[in-house]
Amino acid sequence: MLINNDTIIKDDDSLIRQKSVDVALPLKEDERAVLMQMLKYVDDSTVEEIAEKENLRPAVGISAIQIGIPKKMTAIILKDAEGNKVCEYALVNPKIVSNSLEKAYLESGEGCLSVVEEHQGYIYRSARVKVKAYDALQDKDILIKADGYLAIVLQHELDHFKGILFYDHINKADPFYKDPDALVIE
């Protein structure tokens, strides 16, 4: 399956709002292959030469619905400034099992492979989350304790399973409202 900027479902397509369903485990080989292709997209998308050649937009995560598959699968890779992987997940049926009351937001705002138009404003999410999932890379059930940027990324990707896009969270009356109690992630 070819995944690039032309094949990713955009927000003007009603499919992006479809709810995703759980995936039966053990993973079928075709589902594992799709998940690994999603992971490859995320990994390659931050390498400038590959991204340009293959028409990839930079990403830290992608969910299956973004390639037209309404299943609860997501691939996430966070890298440091030198391009080294800080964390890498190929998650199936991830679910937030607890979250902090404290909120956090990205000062630069959020973006999405499925959203072409810019949507400015702050998106408040839980500063910390615990996520249970099956990780296809480790071939086992895991518990991720995430805070900061990873917590934001996980919540963004899991929103896709409910047909929610990041800009749905922006306060329409005051998009740049600053909650003084929220953690700012730069």
What residues are labeled active site?
Answer: 157
Q: Is 183 helix (H, G, I), strand (E, B) or coil?
A: strand
Closest CA to 35 of 71, 79, 84: 71
Beta pairing partners, 71: 21
Q: Is 148 helix (H, G, I), strand (E, B) or coil?
A: helix
Q: If 0-12 CB within 10 Å is exposed, 13-18 middle and 19+ buried, where does residue 100 land?
A: middle
End-to-end Cα, the chain, rounded Å: 35
* Beta strands at 128-135 and 140-147: parallel, antiparallel or unpaired: antiparallel
Rounded Cα–Cα distance for residues 16 and 108 (Å): 24
Q: Is 105 helix (H, G, I), strand (E, B) or coil?
A: strand
Rounded Cα–Cα distance for residues 162 and 183 (Å): 25
